[in-house]
Amino acid sequence: MANLLQIHSHMREKGTEIENSQRLVVQDQSGHHCLLQQPCPRF
């Protein structure tokens, strides 16, 4: 879970710079889609 938290933090910090790659990682590991513009409910 800490790994997902780190990824989510990086998403918020980096913005669209890593939007595509990191979004896929979060979606794959958590099983649901997290938009960069909206905080993910599970975090």
Say if residue 4 is exposed, middle or buried (CB neighbours under 10 Å; 0-12, 13-18, 19+).
middle
Predicted structure pTM score: 0.17
Tens-level pLDDT at each residue, the chain (43 residues)? 556 666 556 555 555 455 555 555 555 455 555 555 455 555 4
Helix H, strand E, coil C: the string for 1-43 is CHHHHHHHHHHHHHHHHHHHHHHHHHHHHHCCCCCCCCCCCCC
Q: How far is CA 34 from CA 3, 8, 9, 23, in A?
A: 15, 9, 12, 7
User: Residue 14 has which token pair?
Assistant: 């980096």
